[in-house]
Amino acid sequence: MGDAQAAGEGPRCVGCGGRVKTLFVQYSPGNIRLMKCDKCKAVADPYIECEFMIILIDLVLHKTRAYRHVLFNKLSMGSSVDKGILYRSTLIHIALDAFRISFSKGNRADGASSRSIFSTISNCTEVIGDALLGNIIFMIMLLLGVRFILKLSFDIIRYRDVLFAVIISSYFKLFLFTMMVWEFPSSVIFIVEMFVLSSNVVALRVVSQFPKAHCFAVCLLAHAAKYLTQ
């Protein structure tokens, strides 16, 4: 019977964002009926029957419907299910930032190939330290922006949801992995980061339901603070 109910807020309609009891009813394997939202009277989540590539394309196009599907219905944001996902995603996020910093420093060093073991270890430690510091500053400024720009009252669960949405919406950082295989100009990093910024804005807007300009100001503040520290 239906979609697995989360212990927290439960699934959402991807159209209006309203809560729904269940997304579909399953009569038999492969035979389901999508449920409609009581608020907007539309099908609550048509993405259930879509292929992954369709969802990914809509995410790249920054469609709020796709973000609601992934955050609320797929990853069960607002429930205990997302805690492990948040921790793993944060580690991956920091690792990708460390790779970005390492790549940038490698370009500035003009590809010096002969390094001692000590200098290599020292460089790795510095890169990881920069990535950790940058992300700590990023999270602090993000939560401060949410508190003072969006005027959200202090709520640990609500703030965790904001952090979860922003980390997950930074998925395009995974493109940096391709730079290990193929050569790209350093300008690609800037393009990736601008895409991540815009994706963060959409995710924050979906979670907070605040105007796009306010969400942009919060995300821009957090990203700017991170890059200034790095």
pLDDT value for 80: 55
Please state the domain extents for the chain.
24-74, 80-107+117-229
Which H or E run contains 9?
none
Beta bridge partners of 32: 26
pTM: 0.86
Sequence-ordered alpha helix ranges (H) in the chain: 52-60, 64-68, 82-108, 117-148, 156-168, 187-208, 212-229
Q: What is the mean pLDDT of each run of 10 residues along the chain (230 residues)?
A: 44 94 88 92 95 95 96 77 78 91 68 64 89 95 93 81 93 87 84 95 94 96 90
12 backbone dihedrals φ, ψ, rounded to 5° = -125, 155
pLDDT value for 120: 77
Q: Alpha-carbon distance 177 to 89, whole Å?
A: 15
pLDDT value for 108: 52
Single out the residue of 49, 30, 35, 50 nearest to residue 2, CA to CA. 35
